């Protein structure tokens, strides 16, 4: 949702400049935002210079000699009939711009963008008001208030977009901190939630998931083991194999995950998070836990995550077994297609670039074992085929050490 | 921050109606929002009827016979020179309003409020355009686009405010779920974080904390024991007294709290949360944990929370001792003023209404022990004075059972 908010904001700002130009008849308009010690140009519109395409104007230093900076610093409106005959400000910039493009910057209306706390966060600059006959005239004083109002709408919109992305970032870092803390209770699962999330997102990307779905999958994957917070150390951290009763308790973490997450308020866009997180132990053939859902009764995100979760568990060390070589883990995944896993998701998984998978596997475990750059073209499926056909040794193919694959 | 965003939104909507009226010369204006199956009036402005104060208009059913509902349903602009001679819509509402107030509703411009996804979320209705001579005239067609644009700014602002409050609610319910899950690991601490938060907020309110500070204190208090997620069951849940090494480990939860929270991204407004949460075991005289801060080196919020935390611990049962009676807990707090606690915060604590304290104490423990209504005037200080002076027995004073105080 952060992405879409950003895009909406850009569109909104373009629209606001366009409207301000429409009401005042301005040929051109620019919107600057205060960034550190300068004004950064975020919207440039110029009807006469359309053939120039997108023109990026250089940042303006926050010094009162420049008209836009003066407006940003003082919060005052400046209305200039002809900049070439004005001595109030340094107009080197517009003159250079004019020399470059053949434009003639003449009348100018510059208003501050004040947010709801009356802080000036930017400047809206309108250039060359056109009379109905198409001649450049000064901006009417009666337009100042209207443009000021549009500029303050823009300021509020920007403020909101910033707050929204701030809150999203807080929420996300909260979820990440939580996931890594839960993983860290057990040295054998350190980094697990992160890796499952990365595999899931890589698969979802190939699956054509929307930005909203990516966000939902990300949160669901980060939180899929959240319920472990309710499992006792004695069981969760037991060094040996679990007895049936203990196994039952560990499995219950899925139920806890869904129970706890269901009590959390999620915005509409994220409402599927608890259900996906709580369904990652369901199996495609209906033999899974806790509800025995099958096929597309299982949320799509959970069917993706299920492959990711098992692959990461297999390729991670456990107290009672070493880490499984990739080739063997791939066999397990392939053989589980149609029973444990949705065959479609297994296909998806085998389409992942090997380099990406190895990069994720290495998370929290030091450097990746091979030069990932060389592998960018090879998918898991390619690797698996080479391994099963035995035409080339994987070591030969990838330059990997034998233990790695 | 939710509160301030709400207030800002109200102000913004009032401002948008005012501006739309300013540009069009409208005598009155109303802003409706779609809520379920009707339009709810959120802004009413009428210059001629100022003496009526705030007029609440009844909701309009979402049926196309009413002009505002028609605009909400179709997204079309409606411009009516005189509603009394229009047969296109049911104007019973305005006629009743006019009969009641002596107003004469005549010209009307109604535009949809479209958000950035082009959904109509409300309607802006302008009434009685005034000529420079003060006569009611029809709304000029040239204003339609401008008002439409203002209305869509309003729609975007509302959308953003909703998203912001949605995200805040998500964040908050996350933190609450987390706090209650951590408390739930130990039956003796169930509800602890919630109660500490409530005591802290009650004190902060008396302390004149701003809405932003209240939010910071709320999150810090809910999260003050977050670090317990890193303490082993064997120590955290030990039934008997802890040996020095185990005690050390339990105390370390404060360090974990700060460590984990410091990795989380907080928006600027909430940036003090980790520091306050991580300082709740500091003591006023510098003998606390982990940094040995003293006096106002300890964040104000932590000095408040410290009293709340100890009071809740004392009045909660522990495996090795029963719950302490309030009178004794109050003595401990009073005696700790200047050493363990900031005397100012102890004063604050003793100013809390007894009814509120008993209400919080009862959280997660069934009904409060007395009729809280009767106690609304009595503070903890009053109680303590009565108890120490021994003039009246507390039972007599409050009708409490002996064990309770």
Of A164, A182, A260, the CB nearest to B167: A164
Q: What is the pLDDT of residue B363?
A: 83
**How far B376 CA sits from the closest chain A CA (Å)?**
33
Task: Give me chain A's average pLDDT, please.
Answer: 88
- Find, among B272, B271, B267, B305, the residue nearest to B288 by Cα: B305
Q: What is the pLDDT of residue A365?
A: 76
Write phi, then psi, for B342 (nearest 5 degrees).
-70, 120
For chain B, say whether A346 makes contact (Cβ under 8 Å): no
Are A261 and A223 in contact by the 8 Å Cβ rule? The answer is: yes
Name residues 179-218 of chain A within 8 A of B (Cβ).
181-182, 184-185
Angle between helices B300-314 and B326-336 (to 10 degrees): 150
Please determine, for residue A1, whether its predicted confidence score (pLDDT) is greater than 80: no
Model confidence over B348-379: pLDDT tens digits?
999 999 889 999 998 877 655 556 666 667 88
- Domain definitions of chain A by residue range: 2-160, 185-352
A228 among known catalytic residues = yes
How does strand B26-35 pair with strand A78-80? Answer: unpaired
Model confidence over A349-403: pLDDT tens digits?
999 998 899 999 988 776 555 566 666 678 888 888 887 876 666 555 555 544 4
The band of B400, judged by pLDDT with boundaries at 50, 70 and 90, is: low
Q: Domain B185-404: give its CATH superfamily.
A: Hypothetical protein af1432 (1.10.3210.10)
**Which residues have CB under 8 Å from B273's CB, separation 6+?**
B216, B219, B220, B223, B261, B266
Please determine, for residue B387, whether its predicted confidence score (pLDDT) is greater than 90: no
Of A149, A164, A263, the CB nearest to B163: A164
d(CA B195, CA B364): 9
d(CA A333, CA A313): 12
Q: Which two tokens stand for residue B107?
A: 């010209």
For chain B, say whether A130 makes contact (Cβ under 8 Å): no
The band of A3, judged by pLDDT with boundaries at 50, 70 and 90, is: very low
- Which CATH number is correct for A185-352, 1.10.760.10, 3.40.50.1480, 1.20.1600.10, 1.10.3210.10? 1.10.3210.10
CB contact under 8 A, B174 and A174: yes
Q: What is the pLDDT of residue A277?
A: 96
Is residue A110 within a helix (H) or strand (E), and if so which, with residue range? strand A108-114
d(CA B216, CA B201): 10
Model confidence over A107-124: pLDDT tens digits?
999 999 988 778 899 999
For residues A36-60, average pLDDT: 83
**How far B101 CA sits from the closest chain A CA (Å)?**
32
Q: What is the pLDDT of residue A10?
A: 82
Are A191 and B195 in contact by the 8 Å Cβ rule? The answer is: no
- Overall fold of domain A2-160: Beta-Lactamase (3.30.450)
- Find, among A347, A343, A334, A315, the residue nearest to A387 by Cα: A334
Name residues 284-323 of chain B within 8 A of A (Cβ).
none
ipTM above 0.85, yes or no: no
Model confidence over B239-259: pLDDT tens digits?
888 899 999 998 889 998 988
CB contact under 8 A, B170 and A265: yes
- Per cent of chain B over pLDDT 90 is 56
CB contact under 8 A, B167 and A267: yes
């Amino acid at each position: 949702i952060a992405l879409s908010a950003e895009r909406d904001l850009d569109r909104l700002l373009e629209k606001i400049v366009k409207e301000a130009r429409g009401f005042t008849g301005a040929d051109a308009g620019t919107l600057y935002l205060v960034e550190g010690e300068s004004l950064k140009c975020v919207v440039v519109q110029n009807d006469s210079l359309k053939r120039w395409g997108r023109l990026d104007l250089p940042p303006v230093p926050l010094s009162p000699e420049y008209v836009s900076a003066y407006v940003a610093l003082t919060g005052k409106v400046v209305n200039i009939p002809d900049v070439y005959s004005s001595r109030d400000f340094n107009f080197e910039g517009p003159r250079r711009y004019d020399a470059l493009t053949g434009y003639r910057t003449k009348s100018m209306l510059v208003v501050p963008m004040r947010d709801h706390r009356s802080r000036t966060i930017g400047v809206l600059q309108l250039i060359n008001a056109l009379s109905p006959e198409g001649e450049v005239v000064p901006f009417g004083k009666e337009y100042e208030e209207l443009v000021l109002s549009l500029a303050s709408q823009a300021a509020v919109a920007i403020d909101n977009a910033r707050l929204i992305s701030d809150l999203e970032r807080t929420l996300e870092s909260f979820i990440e901190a939580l996931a890594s803390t839960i993983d860290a209770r057990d040295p054998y699962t350190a980094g697990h939630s992160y890796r499952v999330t990365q595999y899931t997102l890589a698969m979802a990307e190939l699956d054509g998931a929307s930005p909203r779905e990516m966000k939902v999958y990300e949160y669901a994957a980060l939180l899929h083991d959240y319920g472990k917070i309710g499992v006792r150390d004695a069981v969760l951290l037991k060094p040996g194999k679990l007895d049936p009763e203990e196994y039952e308790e560990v499995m219950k973490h899925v139920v806890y995950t869904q129970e706890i997450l269901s009590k959390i308020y999620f915005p509409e866009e994220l409402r599927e998070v608890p259900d996906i997180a709580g369904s990652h132990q369901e199996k495609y053939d209906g033999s899974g836990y806790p509800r025995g859902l099958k096929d597309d009764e299982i949320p799509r995100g959970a069917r993706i995550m299920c492959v990711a979760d098992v692959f990461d568990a297999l390729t991670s060390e456990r107290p009672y077994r070493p880490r499984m070589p990739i080739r063997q883990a791939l066999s397990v995944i392939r053989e589980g297609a149609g029973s444990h896993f949705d065959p479609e998701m297994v296909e998806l998984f085998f389409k992942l670039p090997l380099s990406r998978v190895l990069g994720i596997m290495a998370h929290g475990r030091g450097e990746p074992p091979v030069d990932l750059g060389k592998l960018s073209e090879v998918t898991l499926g390619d690797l698996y085929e080479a391994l099963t056909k035995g035409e080339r040794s994987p070591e030969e193919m990838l330059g990997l050490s034998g233990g790695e694959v």
